[in-house]
Amino acid sequence: MIRTSESIAALAAALVEAQGEMPNPPKETKGQVGSQVRFYADLPTLVETVKPILAKNGLAYVQLPCDTHPGAVGVTTRIMHKSGEWMEDTVSMPAGNNGAQGVGSAITYARRYSLMAVLGLAPEDDDGAGASQPAPRPRAATSKPAPPKQEQTDPNAITSAQVTKLQVLANEKGFAERQARLTMWAEVIGRNVGTANELTKAEAHKLIEHMDALPVVQP
């Protein structure tokens, strides 16, 4: 979390000017994380890049180690303006398992990372060597089996029971011949259909009532 003086108007204006002149530092140092080789800007290169531009705009910075939590090291970076205004941020990094060397490497990494963050410089490929935990392995993509596809049902569509009923009634009431059946259906429901499956539930109900009222045709 960034902390600031009560006012940072002058600091903000100066920082805007400085950032407009500040390039990303060149990546000239090679590091390796696992099997990957990466190039990054080390701390001396970063300081050499930003310090003259900060000074030109009335800005300076200090970086101090600080306590954060067990097993980690922290660095507080404070950007100061000649007006007395300031802003600061603290970052924490794992101390590593290499004793004093691991702690020193973590502090150096934290200083570089914190300074770039406070100045708004773009992130880069970083070394991570000795300063942070190994890069996490990407998780293997796991695909869950697709749920069984549910049949889409139209609540207004004719039911299978209605289709069967219409077939029975058509045979009983003298409409076994297809064209005669379709003609009668069109007269009752007011539109032409080609099969029973094209009927709505309401239309099928109307046809069943109509055909139920018709006399049975004896063979």
Q: Tell me: the pLDDT tens digits for 98-151?
A: 677 777 888 888 898 889 888 888 655 544 444 444 444 445 555 555 555 554
| Distance from C-alpha of 168 to C-alpha of 125, rounded to nearest angstrom | 77
* Phi and psi at residue 80, to the nearest 5°: -120, 145
pLDDT at 17: 95
Alpha helices in 3-140 (DSSP H): 9-21, 43-56, 99-119
pLDDT at 5: 94
pLDDT at 69: 77
Does the pLDDT at position 77 exceed 90?
Answer: yes
Does the pLDDT at position 218 exceed 70?
Answer: no
* Domain annotation for the chain: domains and CATH numbers: 3-119 (3.30.390), 160-212 (no CATH)
Query: With contact defined as beta carbons under 8 Å apart, do 93 and 71 qualify?
Result: no
Does the pLDDT at position 171 exceed 60?
Answer: yes
DSSP 61-72: EEEEEE--STTE
pLDDT at 61: 96
**Who wins on pLDDT, 56 or 114?**
56
| Distance from C-alpha of 217 to C-alpha of 99, rounded to nearest angstrom | 102
pTM for this entry: 0.53
| Distance from C-alpha of 11 to C-alpha of 4, rounded to nearest angstrom | 10
Farthest-apart Cα atoms in the chain, separation? 111
pLDDT at 132: 44
Does the pLDDT at position 210 exceed 70?
Answer: yes
pLDDT at 86: 96
| Distance from C-alpha of 195 to C-alpha of 207, rounded to nearest angstrom | 13
